[in-house]
Amino acid sequence: MSTRKAREADEARRKGHHAHMKYVLGLNDGPHVRACQHCRRATLGRVCYWCGKRRGLW
């Protein structure tokens, strides 16, 4: 898949930017892993693992 998301994932792996930590850590194993809309880190479930807020739309 040569989409924008795949390209962002490649850049994120090089940079290690926390906005795409789900790719960096290799956690992208299902629809439940998303970036938190508040702190932009990858998180599991409804409440963010990092900032403790609800993930919202992500």
Residue-wise pLDDT for 21-43, tens only, equals 554 444 555 566 777 777 777 77
Domain count of the chain?
Answer: 1
Asked whether residue 25 is assigned to any structural domain, the reply reads: yes
Residue 57, pLDDT > 50, answer no
Cα 39 to Cα 52: distance, rounded to the nearest angstrom: 10
What is residue 38's predicted lDDT score, i.e. its pLDDT?
Answer: 77
Element spanning 44, H or E: strand 42-44
Please check whether residue 50 lies inside any domain of the structure: no
Shortest CA distance to 27 belongs to which of 43, 15, 38, 51? 43
In a domain, 55, yes or no: no
- Domain that includes residue 33, residue range: 4-44
Question: Quick one: pLDDT band at residue 56, thresholds 50, 70, 90?
Answer: low
In a domain, 56, yes or no: no
51 domain residue, yes or no: no
pTM greater than 0.75 (yes/no)? no
Proportion of the chain above pLDDT 70, given as a percent:
45
Maximum alpha-carbon separation in the chain: 33
Residue 10: both structure tokens together: 């490649």
